C-alpha cells in the first residue's frame, strides 16, 4: 500500500467512489481506490439510472454503454404507483428512466476507470485516519487474507481522503463529521426469490389483508418488497426465507411458496445528512454523506451527482490550481442538494405511505399534477435532480445560469460536435459562439473554443464548468459584460480574461 503526498485516496468502490475516481483521473489527479470487500457484492440494491445520471455520463462520452444495457421508460413513480409521473415533459437530453442493475452500473464504471488506468484495490478496508495540515495518514487493513496475521495493517500518507464508503461510513465517523437526522422507525424487507407457482403473485402492487406487497420482475427471479408491521427487536437480525414467507402470508391473508432465495435483507427509513461534506482534507460523497428511505430510487444517481461535482474541484485543489473556496463550494452545493433530496423523499414517503389521514392530501396532490400545467414537470425535474441549480455567484437572469447546459449541437472548424462531446475531457470550457468578440480565458486551465450554435443563434458565449453547469451565459438579447466573465473565470477556475477572439482556434489553458 503506497500513498504519496499528491495522492487522493477514495475509500469505497460503489457508484460514488468509482465515478469520483474517474473524474479525479480525468482532471489529472493521482488516485487510489480501496474497497473493504474482497470483490464486488453480487447483491443488487438499485435497478435504475435517471435522466440526470445519463446526462452526466453523456458528458463523459459513456452514456451509450449504459443505455445499451436495458429498457428506457418515459415515466416514473413519485409517490403513488398508480399515478406515475410523465418524464417526457422534462427539459432533459434523456427524458426517461433507464432500467439497469446497480451491479451492472458499477461494473461498467469500474471498466471505464480501468481504461483510464486506475484499478480498484479490493480487500482493503480503511480502519482509521488522522489528518494534519499537509495530508492524511490512513490505516488500511487487508480483508482478503493477504498479508497474514500482523502483516495486514498498512499506513499510507495521502493528500486527501474521500469517504465513499456507504451509509455506515467509517471515514465520516473517524473524521468527526456529525450525521444528524431521524432514526429509522419503520422497516421494509425484501427478498430476491423465485415463486414456486409463478401465477401465485402478480407483478406490481397487491393490496393484501394487512399490507401492501410489491413484486418486481427480474431476469429469472422476482424481488418482493414488504413493510414490517412492527420494528424488529434487533434490526441486524437476519431475514430468513421462513420469516419472509410468514410475513408475506400475514399480509396477503394466504400463503405463497417461495424458493431459491438469492438475497434477503431489511432496510429502514432513517434520513440523515452529514453536517459537513468537507472537513479539512477529508470529504464525503454518496451514502456516506446522506441516507434516506429507498423511496424514489435515487441513491445511485445522487452518488454520481456528488462525485461529478466533487471530482474537478478536489483535483484542482490537490494540483494547486484551485481558487480560494473552490473545495468548500462542493459542500455548499451538494449539502444544499442533500437537504432538497431529504425533503423531497420525505414528501414522497409520506404521500406513498399508509396514513389514512393523508388521503385528502394525496387526492389534492393528484389533482394538482393532473390539472395544473407545469406541476408534473416541476416534480419530475425535482425528483430526478434535473432542475438542480448551483449559485453562479455572478448576477444574471438567464435560465441556464447555474444549471446543466443542454447538449447543444455545435459546429467547430466545419464539423459537427456538441456540448457533451466537448466536455469529455472534464475541463472548464469557454465557448465563444456569436459575432461579438469575446476574450479568451487566460492564466488557468480553461479551454477556449470558437464554435457556432445554429439552433441557438442568440448565444454569444457560455462558460461551462467541468460538471456541465453554466458559470456564465451571454446572449444578444441579454449581453453580459466581459467583467462578469472575468469574475466567473476567477471564481471557479482562478483564471482571467486573455486576448479578445482570434477566430477559429481551440485554445487550451
- Footprint on this chain of ligand FAD (rule: CB under 6 A): 11-17, 34-37, 45-48, 102, 125-126, 164-166, 170, 190, 267, 286-288, 294, 297-301, 303
Question: Which of 290, 287, 312 lies closest to 12 in space, CA to CA?
Answer: 287
Residue with smaller CB distance to ligand FAD, 299 or 406:
299
Separation in Å, CA 286 to CA 83, 162, 347: 29, 10, 21
C-beta of 509: minimal distance to ligand FAD in Å? 32
Give the start-end residues of each E strand in 228-323.
Answer: 258-268, 271-273, 278-279, 282-284, 290-291
Question: Which of 243, 114, 269 lies closest to 183 in space, CA to CA?
Answer: 269
C-beta of 40: minimal distance to ligand FAD in Å? 7
CA–chain centroid gap for 211, Å, is 32
> Would you state the cell numbers that stand for residue 362, as one nine-digit string?
394525496
C-beta of 323: minimal distance to ligand FAD in Å? 28
Q: Collect all residues with Cβ–Cβ distance below 8 Å to 429 and sequence separation of at least 6.
A: 422, 423, 446, 447, 449, 462, 463, 464
C-beta of 46: minimal distance to ligand FAD in Å? 3
**Considering Cα of 106, then 107, then 110, then 112, what sign does the dihedral take?**
negative
Residue with smaller CB distance to ligand FAD, 27 or 224:
224
Residue with smaller CB distance to ligand FAD, 223 or 393:
223
C-beta of 141: minimal distance to ligand FAD in Å? 9
Residue with smaller CB distance to ligand FAD, 190 or 310:
190
Rounded CA separation 373/233 (Å): 47
Question: What is the helix, strand, coil percentage profile of the chain, to 5?
Answer: 30, 30, 40
Residue with smaller CB distance to ligand FAD, 214 or 267:
267
C-beta of 347: minimal distance to ligand FAD in Å? 18
C-beta of 307: minimal distance to ligand FAD in Å? 8
Residue with smaller CB distance to ligand FAD, 227 or 475:
227
The b/e string for 4-39 (b: 16+ C-beta within 10 A; e otherwise) is eeebbbbbbbbbbbbbbbbbbbbbebbbbbbbbbee
Residue with smaller CB distance to ligand FAD, 7 or 288:
288
C-beta of 198: minimal distance to ligand FAD in Å? 23
Residue with smaller CB distance to ligand FAD, 305 or 488:
305
Separation in Å, CA 45 to CA 15, 169, 193, 480: 12, 18, 14, 46
**HEC assignment per residue over 71-100:** CEECEECCCCCCCCEECCCCCCCCCCEEEC
Amino acid at each position: 500500500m503506497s500513498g504519496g503526498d499528491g495522492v487522493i485516496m477514495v475509500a469505497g468502490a460503489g457508484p460514488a467512489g468509482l465515478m469520483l475516481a474517474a473524474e479525479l483521473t480525468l482532471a489529472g489527479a493521482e488516485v487510489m481506490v480501496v474497497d473493504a470487500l474482497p470483490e464486488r457484492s453480487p447483491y443488487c440494491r438499485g435497478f435504475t439510472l435517471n435522466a440526470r445520471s445519463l446526462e452526466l455520463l453523456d458528458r463523459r462520452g459513456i452514456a451509450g454503454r449504459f443505455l445499451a444495457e436495458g429498457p428506457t421508460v418515459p415515466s416514473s413513480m413519485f409517490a403513488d404507483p398508480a399515478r406515475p409521473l410523465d418524464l417526457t415533459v422534462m427539459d432533459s437530453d434523456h427524458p426517461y428512466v433507464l432500467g439497469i442493475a446497480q451491479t451492472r452500473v458499477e461494473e461498467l464504471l469500474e471498466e471505464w476507470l480501468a481504461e483510464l488506468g486506475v484499478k480498484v484495490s479490493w480487500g482493503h478496508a480503511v480502519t482509521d485516519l488522522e489528518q494534519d495540515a499537509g495530508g492524511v495518514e490512513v490505516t488500511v487493513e487487508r480483508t482478503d487474507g493477504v498479508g497474514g496475521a500482523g502483516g495486514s495493517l498498512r499506513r499510507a500518507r495521502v493528500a486527501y481522503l474521500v469517504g465513499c464508503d456507504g451509509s455506515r461510513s467509517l471515514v465520516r465517523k473517524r473524521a468527526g463529521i456529525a450525521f444528524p437526522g431521524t432514526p429509522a422507525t419503520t422497516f421494509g424487507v425484501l427478498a430476491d426469490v423465485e415463486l414456486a407457482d409463478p401465477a401465485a403473485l402478480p407483478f406490481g402492487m397487491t393490496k393484501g389483508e394487512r399490507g401492501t406487497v410489491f413484486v418486481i420482475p427480474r431476469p429469472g427471479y422476482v424481488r418482493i418488497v414488504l413493510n414490517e408491521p412492527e420494528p424488529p427487536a434487533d434490526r441486524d437480525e437476519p431475514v430468513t426465507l421462513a420469516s419472509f414467507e410468514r410475513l408475506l402470508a400475514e399480509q396477503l391473508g394466504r400463503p405463497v411458496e417461495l424458493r431459491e432465495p438469492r438475497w434477503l435483507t431489511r432496510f429502514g427509513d432513517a434520513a440523515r445528512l452529514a453536517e459537513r461534506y468537507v472537513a479539512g482534507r477529508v470529504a464525503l460523497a454518496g451514502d456516506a454523506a446522506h441516507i434516506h428511505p429507498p423511496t424514489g430510487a435515487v441513491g445511485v444517481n445522487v452518488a454520481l451527482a456528488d462525485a461529478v461535482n466533487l471530482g474537478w474541484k478536489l483535483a484542482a485543489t490537490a494540483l494547486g490550481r484551485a481558487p480560494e473556496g473552490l473545495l468548500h463550494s462542493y459542500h455548499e452545493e451538494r449539502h444544499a442538494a442533500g437537504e432538497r433530496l431529504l425533503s423531497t423523499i420525505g414528501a414522497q414517503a409520506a404521500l406513498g405511505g399508509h396514513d389514512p389521514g393523508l388521503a385528502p392530501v394525496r387526492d389534492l396532490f393528484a389533482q394538482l399534477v393532473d390539472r395544473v400545467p407545469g406541476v408534473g414537470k416541476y416534480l419530475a425535474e425535482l425528483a430526478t435532480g434535473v432542475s438542480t441549480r448551483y449559485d453562479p455567484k455572478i448576477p444574471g437572469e438567464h435560465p441556464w445560469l447555474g444549471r446543466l447546459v443542454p447538449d447543444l449541437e455545435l459546429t467547430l472548424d466545419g464539423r459537427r460536435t456538441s456540448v457533451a462531446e466537448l466536455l469529455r475531457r472534464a475541463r472548464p470550457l469557454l465557448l465563444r459562439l456569436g459575432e461579438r468578440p469575446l476574450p479568451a480565458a487566460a492564466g488557468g486551465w480553461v479551454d477556449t473554443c470558437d464554435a457556432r450554435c445554429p439552433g441557438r443563434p442568440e448565444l454569444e458565449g457560455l462558460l461551462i464548468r467541468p460538471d456541465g453547469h453554466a458559470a456564465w451565459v451571454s446572449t444578444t438579447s441579454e449581453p453580459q459584460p466581459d467583467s462578469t466573465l472575468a469574475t466567473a473565470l476567477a471564481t471557479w477556475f482562478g483564471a482571467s480574461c486573455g486576448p479578445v477572439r482570434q477566430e477559429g482556434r481551440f485554445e487550451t489553458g
